[in-house]
Structure 1
């Protein structure tokens, strides 16, 4: 084992000793620790405070409650209201428009941002993103639920949207409301099934709201540790032909609040003014097999830019690694926010043998469960992306 690999494991273990709840004191402690590591490497990081709800459960629960009320009302108006709530819900989960969050209680989190200027003729800015926070657990993340359909995902390279059943319930509720006058029995059956499914979803949100924050070794201490290792290497030998911006945002698990603060801030604006920008996320690397997200979405599919996906695969080849397969993943990652703004973006992740993230949002997401060979392969791919970005 090399010194860099030892340091990678030490960094993951150090982060797991901090309870990194989104937009809270633990996340701020993690940000301060990461900033200190970057300063020790001779870099000049900036710690950026932001405010955001500390979880997604309340925003989602309000949509569920509104959906229950709309389906309960029934009729054509109820159907229209149900579809309107579903549209708002999808925009909330994908980060397109999180208007509900503006009126919700918020906590204070912290991002860490550091720019490493390239040498020579700089052709683009590469933004590498790894979120600092860790997720709360809940019974919805039990392996029996989380791994359902994982075998099919492995074969098709398409994860089911984590909120797919809920989306179907809203659509069924709207359909039942619309047809109930013409077909009372069918309409009532659709509405009853929809109400029951949404009710189960609400119970799941309560379990998440009350759940303890997991250690988050794979998700996402591994991603942070990989970027710290890259930062140390680039501080000693700056990148050629590309400016590199490392972003360690908070709040990803709560709905990407830290990444939104970065995307609205001056560093990204300056990079866009200077020339082309590509954003690559580094998330959940301890699963076994590296993959690259060609698309994602908790409810509907949002596609990443093929150019960004190809850059990750080119980075793997530059590092002597097999190019990661292109997958459709089932939830959200921070780079979807920049993709929504037209900036080429994607995320490097990993999956286990069953076609799902290992120990996902579970108390067992600890350093001893991490596939370190996979993390080290991902670290080489990320370093290769920097090389490929300069070409």
Structure 2
């Protein structure tokens, strides 16, 4: 923070005028100009003493009306400033704000309501940012000298990604939502729910279902079914090579991805699903089971994520059975990488990519993904990617 000069522009002009009077007094032999110079110097010295000599202390407490401030949301900041001084100075106050928030955090001091200060801030960029300290700038009655002091410590404000309302999942996924929907995948091996099927050459004789064989008159074997979980999985691909870094500024594409991740996870839990949110390396960003604390924990984690490292194969992120809805959110995706995105039997695999390259959408569709390009209009991209957009003939419509 740049420190202010001890003299104002008026004070500096007064000193300069005094020096000119001294020079003119000697050149013109005019003692009156010397008296004027001395008077100006004395006034500046007196002003500096009035402003800088008094000792002041103070305590600052801040309360922000919203614990978690969403990007684009407005919140009120209440500041209590307890100033300890012989007299209340006149000047201006200013609360230091980071560039991640916007607001008019300055005014005249003392304020109309004494030491209680209020102002509004709006979230601009997600993250955890410091607010403060409070700066008090005082000026002497002549306007010659100024003094700026810091009071109090900083208070952090957590700005979380924007939450966007989304369209409901297609009836393909299950009209009853996550609490009732399951899907099953036929397997040749397994130990879960048993159902008979006709014997195929190569099946083990130990798997023969004798009761079904006797009932149907044909040799039947046990066919296991693996049920997919009614849980949903949202994966945010943080792999560094998929995202751009523009100096210290945030990558707009990655910000859209984070907003989509938060919006989709909260949307799914409202639909009755238990939702796990992971990054591409398998690190848990949040687990949503319908509790408010779960929601806040996820948003705080997403407030601080950034592109980094490498990712893992998606199916290695499953804990047991494949999920119901599986949402993969990624950045730059080429055809080769898209062809490796196995969803492991998820009942509703949805892929959102901010920069799908030529052939990526077709490669993902061949594996069963319903995909769309993710833009800053998260709601529209989500609607384009819903399984309901599948063509009735069995193909995928990707955009």
Query: Given the two structures, how large is their TM-score scaled by the length of structure 2?
Result: 0.22
Query: Which structure has more helix as a fraction of its residues?
Result: 1
Query: Which structure has more strand as a fraction of its residues?
Result: 2
Query: Given the two structures, how large is their TM-score scaled by the length of structure 1?
Result: 0.22
Which structure ranks higher in relative contact order (CA pairs < 8 Å, sequence separation ≥ 6)?
1
